[in-house]
Structure 1
């Protein structure tokens, strides 16, 4: 029965240990995420809001503010998750402390009774009489073993009390730290919520001015999206032309939708795929302000647009770098837009849009992280890089390819 209880206690402690480790890992992951979002907010302030007075477009200001509001809400959510997890950890810690105190009370009681009993029988004469009163040698040997086991058990109980006392002290220290961490998170969250309230009021103020002439602003949004769509169509045309040229050179059907690859190009494509999720950012510092896929305008929810890549806010005159080795497929300049560089990585293409300067030419061999140009900075001081990834002519989500995008 005693062995069974020991086994159950061991199993409980083991499961509790696993649970504690899992919570600790989750807490570390949440803390890393919180720090990352805080960094993103700081970068947003630098890249998008440092020249707020120079911003001429209300639409652009609302779009940027909308993104910032969403990031701040995400920060509040992550901080709340951390605080809630800490609350659960604190409760579990308090329960464990209560359990340990109860165990210590029982252990000390048993130990004190054992010490009293041992004191009464501590004389060498008593022990000798206990051994000599044995009926035979076998019984004497068993009694000797009993005395030894009883002495060892006393020592074990003493060590167990010391161990549990130390554990209790550690838990109390940990509990104080957890409560301090939670209080800090609550204070920080209050400050973040105040900032959010200010931003929401600013957003409401701007939206009120927009609603007075919503149709005009909606037209501007649609026109801006039409210009972006036109560049998308041009990029798609250039890729399809490159596919047709590769197939013609290989003596295959020009109507194929896939690149015909040389052995070298196949190897580059294979390496590109093996680095999925690990590719470097196309700029050293940046924040994604428009993500991949279909999205609704924050100005007019009835207007939606499809983003075939991402838009990254970055430093003024930031250098653009290739995310992987490859060959410059083309440097294109569409009417009323800034240059676009397309780099071929086997049957994958990366596109770098809105450049002010281009350092490369068609046919150049490119290495990973090689600088290929600079990002254009507009009159309002905004520096936005358009970045896209294609498999043949099919757009891919850059967030699946770039490290921690």
Structure 2
């Protein structure tokens, strides 16, 4: 019976540890798949061999992003391999103990069979019962014989179960070792790819250093141009808020509606829409079906030139050629702005929130249109030189810019 209890303890302990390991393995496996998918997306969206002209700064930023993701992948693979090694070691120790326990079970069972055989040769069951002093003793002896036979049967079943369990652990160990070998090979391949990418990175850095002044001058021009565009959009939004508030006051037949400067006066319907928008923070869909963020929100150091700060007014998302921008929530088209080169910027109002879909080749909507979540807003412009299709997605609360990454789903 002690052996049986020990076996049950081993079994439950194994299953508990397997459950913990499985959970960790699943998380790591999910991360590994995510990073692999991101590398595939990076290669597809950022490294187009059909580029007419190479932009060394952009190429350097792109290759750095790929190296960063690949390093995360290698780190995840390494962790996964370590967890597997630990799991394999734990299971090997348990297997050794289970083998010993099985040997003890078999020894006990063999001894019980031998004693039973000797008992049969010395005295039959009938004589054992007939030699009882009274009926009660005969009844107890009969029950003992039944229990003994049942116990023998159970011991045999336990041996079969534990033997099967040991075989399952053996199979699991073979599989785990095979997976570990695959991970080690994958890690080796990723490291080789990183070395290739680093050589390209070094070549680009050398190229940039030769024309550093030119690149810095062009970059400063781009930063100033982006600032001018941002200021222009800010003014248009302030004007739109003022216009919307004049209409709201006319409907409310009052000029003394309390509000702060540059904030929408909200009707009950607009308040309800804004409240629903807020409730969906972190759950809103992406403005593109497939995409990669190549510039984050907020002020950030330039990845190549120390001392130069760039500002992300929203998210710069690279997507596949021919993609459309899609509304992230119900709303109304506030305005459609025309940018340099003929690109368009569609502003959609959601109560006192505004989403901006900038760098569109054309728009499928017009000012005043009611919009629903997921509706196609316009086709995103593809640069004919870089071959990149990039959406600049910005989020406002009244005139204050917010980080869109905090509002849309994590990918």
- Distance in 2 (CA, whole Å) between partners of 1:268 and 1:229 is 31
SS of equivalent to 1:316 = coil
The runs of 5 or more residues in structure 2 that have no matched partner are: 250-254
Out of 308, 316, 325, the position equivalent to 1:320 is 325
Match of 1:404 in 2: 410
- Distance in 2 (CA, whole Å) between partners of 1:156 and 1:401 is 60
Match of 1:372 in 2: 377
- Distance in 1 (CA, whole Å) between partners of 2:120 and 2:242 is 99
Asked if 1 retains the 8 angstrom alpha-carbon contact of 2:259 and 2:265, the reply is no
Q: Deviations over 1:318-374 (max 9, x none)?
A: 211112211111112345683211111223222111111112122111111111111
CA, structure 1 residues 2+98, in 2 after alignment: closer, same or farther (shift >3 Å)? closer
- Distance in 1 (CA, whole Å) between partners of 2:137 and 2:221 is 103
CA, structure 1 residues 394+131, in 2 after alignment: closer, same or farther (shift >3 Å)? farther
Match of 1:21 in 2: 19
Match of 2:282 in 1: 277
Q: TM-score with structure 1 length normalisation?
A: 0.90
Equivalent runs, 1:4-403 vs 2, <5 Å: 6=5, 10=8, 13-51=11-49, 53-122=51-120, 126-248=124-246, 249-250=248-249, 251=255, 252-256=257-261, 258-335=263-340, 338-378=343-383, 379-403=385-409
SS of equivalent to 2:334 = strand
Between 1:336-345 and 1:191-200, the stretch displaced more is 336-345
The runs of 5 or more residues in structure 1 that have no matched partner are: none
Asked if 1 retains the 8 angstrom alpha-carbon contact of 2:91 and 2:173, the reply is yes
Pairs aligned (count): 403
Asked if 2 retains the 8 angstrom alpha-carbon contact of 1:294 and 1:304, the reply is yes
Asked if 2 retains the 8 angstrom alpha-carbon contact of 1:244 and 1:256, the reply is no
Q: CA deviation at 1:226?
A: 2.7
* RMSD of aligned alpha carbons: 2.7
Between 1:164-173 and 1:48-57, the stretch displaced more is 48-57
Asked if 2 retains the 8 angstrom alpha-carbon contact of 1:359 and 1:371, the reply is yes
CA, structure 1 residues 221+143, in 2 after alignment: closer, same or farther (shift >3 Å)? farther
- Distance in 2 (CA, whole Å) between partners of 1:295 and 1:137 is 95
CA, structure 1 residues 238+334, in 2 after alignment: closer, same or farther (shift >3 Å)? same
Q: TM-score with structure 2 length normalisation?
A: 0.89
SS of equivalent to 1:332 = strand
CA, structure 1 residues 194+237, in 2 after alignment: closer, same or farther (shift >3 Å)? same
